[in-house]
Amino acid sequence: MIRLVIVLLFLQVSFSYSQTLVKLSSDTNTSLRGLSVAGDNVAWTSGSNGWVGRTSDAGASWEWHQVKGYEKFDFRDIEAFSATEAILVNAGSPAVILKTVDGGKTWEEVYRNSSPDIFLDGMNFSDKMNGIAFGDPINHKLQILRTEDSGKSWKDISSNLKEPMFEGEASFAASGTTIRTMGQHVWIATGGSRSRLLASADFGETWKVYNSPILQGRSSTGIFSIEVLSPRKILAVGGDYMKDTLRLQNMAYSHNGGRKWRFPEVAPFGYRSCVSYIGDGTFIATGTTGTDISSDWGKTWKLLSPQGFNSISKSNGGKLILLAGSHGEVYAFQR
C-alpha cells in the first residue's frame, strides 16, 4: 500500500511537471543565475564561464556566446531592456558591469572595482534609466552603486546606508533577486549571521533596516530572494542551502513593509533561491530541491516539480515566464 501511494504521488508530480514546465535549452556549459525577461518574446540569461543567452522568439530559439575577454567571469545577474540592450554584473573580484546596445555583439565595461574584497550580489532597475547594484560589505559597510543614465556610469552611494552590517552578515548572488526596486523604493535582503531587510523610499538616499524571521546564524542561511508587490507587501524565501531539504523558516511574508512578518501555513519544500509573483495571487519559488507554487498569496505551497532551478523571471504582462538552472537549462512555465 505504501509503495502504491509513493508511485501515485510520483506520477502526480510528474504529470504536473510535464504539463507546466517545458524545456527550451540545456546544451550550454554554464550555471545560469542571471535571468531577465524584457517582453513577451525577449529574454536574456547569464552565468558562469562568461556565457550569455538571448531569445527574441519567446524561447523557441536561443543565441549563445561567451563575452570576449570575460570567459572566466561568473555573470550572476543581467538586466535586459530590449532585444538589443542589456547590462551584466559579475560576482567576485574584479567586479565589473558590462553594457551592450547591439544584442551582445559587443560589450562595454562601464564599471570595474579591483578590490580583493569586492563581491557584487545583484542589481535591479526601476525604469530604463535608474538602477541600483549592491555587494557584500567591506569593513562592515554594504557596497551600493546607483546609475541614473541607463547603466552608462555608476556612483558609489555606500555611505548613505548608516547601519553597519554585523560580523558575518552579507548577501547572496544566487539569483540576482535579493534586490528589488519599485519607483523610488529599493529593498535589499541580507543573510548569514543575520538576515535583514534594508528599505529605501528615496532610491538609496536614506535607509531603514528591519529584522527578518528567515533562518539565519550560519554563512549558508538567510534570505536568498524577495518579491515585492507594493511598498507594504513583501515576500521572502531562503533557508539553508547546505541543508536544502529543510523546510524550517524558509519563507515569510510581510504586509507592512518588513516591520512584521508571518510564516506560511504550508512552507515551500526546502531551500529556495528565487521567488516570483506571476499574477492572480500566484507565486513560484525554486531552489536546488525543486520548484513550488502557491495560489493563495504565499500562505500554502505545493510541489510543482522535483526539478530545481536558480532563477525565475517573467514579462510584465505575464505571458512569458522562464526558469534558469545550474546546468545551462532554460525552461518555460506554462499555465
**E strand or H helix at 6:** helix 2-20
pLDDT of 14 strictly over 70: no
pTM recorded for the entire structure: 0.93
> 8 by DSSP, 3-state: which?
helix
- What pLDDT does residue 335 have? 83
- What pLDDT does residue 266 have? 98
Q: What is the pLDDT of residues 316-330, one digit of tens each?
A: 989 999 999 999 999
Quickly state the pLDDT bin for 311 (edges 50, 70, 90).
Answer: very high
Burial (CB count within 10 angstroms: exposed 0-12, middle 13-18, buried 19+), residue 101: middle
Q: What share of the chain is helix, strand, coil (3-state, %, to 5)?
A: 10, 45, 45
Segment 33-40 mean pLDDT: 98
Provide the CA 49 distance to its chain's centre, in angstroms. Answer: 19
Please state, in angstroms and as integers, the Cα–Cα distance from residue 145 to each residue in 113, 156, 205, 277, 293, following that order: 11, 5, 11, 26, 33
Distance between CA atoms of 183 and 46, rounded to whole angstroms?
A: 25
Euclidean distance between the first and the last CA atom of the chain, given in angstroms as a whole number: 33
Q: What is the pLDDT of residues 239-296, one digit of tens each?
A: 999 999 999 999 999 999 999 999 999 999 999 999 999 999 999 999 999 999 999 9
- What pLDDT does residue 26 have? 87
- What pLDDT does residue 15 have? 38
- Domains of the chain are 2-333 (2.130.10.10)
Segment 155-165 mean pLDDT: 98
- What pLDDT does residue 27 have? 84
- What pLDDT does residue 13 have? 42
Contact 125, 80 (CB under 8 A): no
